Amino acid sequence: KLGLDRSARKVFGKDFPELWEEWREYETSRFKDFQMEGRQETETGWDMKYAKIQNGKLYYQQEFYRKTGAFKGMNFGDLIERDLATGKERKILTNINFATPFKIKNGKLYYTFAFVKTGYDNSCLRSFGQYVCLQEMDFKGKKNKTILRDTIRAFDILEDGRVIYSKDRQDRFGSEIFIKEPGSKSPKMLFQTDYLLQELESSDGRLITVARKDWETFSIFMLNLETQEFTPLIKTAHLEFGISTQGERLFFSANYQKKLSSYCYDFTTGKVYRLTENGLAIFPVYDENNNQLYYIGMNSNGYDIYAKPADFREF
């Protein structure tokens, strides 16, 4: 009645129902070879992000949308613990607005959640802006303790217990790097950088970050806090993200060859290995005791946990 199909025929030579079917056929043909590798461990669907393995258990972050009123809804997140031997799951945290990847260090859980507060220089949100709270939780007693509040983009807990985190620069593109000593009331800024730090991962004396400069893609670097140097480990025109470490191996996701797959960087050899070939496999973690690779894959219901025997093929 509005003449939309008539306009479409004039411009494209076909009306919208025909264009819709043509698009469906194109997408079906384009992904005819798409097939998830490995076995599906969960049947949850919706969205999942990040994963960690600790003491025979897999931890992952599940996110979902919940209706809160007429024409209203909000995103919530749960932190799930899955026993790899039995497959039993339990919720560690529920209804959390996660702001960054969670961490498990020294038998404790560290996570962030976002909240809003007033006092920002904007008019469109009536001076409200997003803040991030970093929490520490004891797995045994489930006692929460607030570590700090700031505009945190990425963080980790160093081996000596110090908290390292990044926040966006206000004057230009890049990050400010902060350290908070155990027991101190306020953090200390170490330096500013033109790199925007998206992820931080400390392991065996190494500090690894997913970062980029303006107009570049996210890549993986080794960060030296003393010299303030960023040494490239994996730096390409593609996207690298979702890092985790296991001994001398660094696991990550990348979109090489137009596929989101899982990869591994070996610190001892400097070589890169491909771990998945088909489907979609992101946020990989490695169970060294059983040689099992766990990752987040995609199906018609959303995202779920998948697993397969780890096969390291040089890439």
Band of residue 172 on the pLDDT scale cut at 50, 70, 90? very high
Look at residues 168, 153, 161, 159 and name the one whose alpha carbon lies nearest to residue 136: 161
How would residue 1 be classed by pLDDT, with cut points 50, 70 and 90? low
pLDDT digits 0-9 by tens, 15-35? 999 999 999 999 999 989 899
pLDDT in tens, 112-122: 999 888 877 77
- Average pLDDT of the residues in 24-49: 94
- For residues 150 and 214, give the distance between their C-alpha atoms in angstroms, rounded to a whole number: 23
pLDDT of residue 129: 79
Residues 208-248: pLDDT tens digits? 999 999 999 999 999 999 999 999 999 999 999 999 999 99
Average pLDDT value over all residues in the chain: 94
